Amino acid sequence: MRVQKFRSIEEMNKAPVRESQEPPFERFLRQCARYWEIAPKRYPRGVFKFRTIEEAQKAREKYPLLNK
Partner 1 sequence: MDRDEIIRVLQAFEAAGLEYVLIGAAAMGFHGLVRATEDLDLFIRATPENIERLRSALRQAYDDDPQVDEISSADLLGEYPAVRYFPPTGDLYFDVLTRLGEVASFETVDTEIKEVQGTKVRIATPLALYRMKKGTVREKDHVDAAALKERFDLKDET
Q: What are phi and psi of 17, to 5 degrees?
A: -90, 135
* Least distance CB 18 / partner 1 (angstroms): 14
Evaluated on CA atoms 53, 57, 28, 12, the torsion sign reads: positive
Cβ closer to partner 1: 7 or 25?
25
29 binds partner 1 (CB under 8 A): yes
16 binds partner 1 (CB under 8 A): no
34 binds partner 1 (CB under 8 A): yes
CA distance 66 to 62: 12
30 binds partner 1 (CB under 8 A): yes
CA distance 65 to 59: 14
17 binds partner 1 (CB under 8 A): no
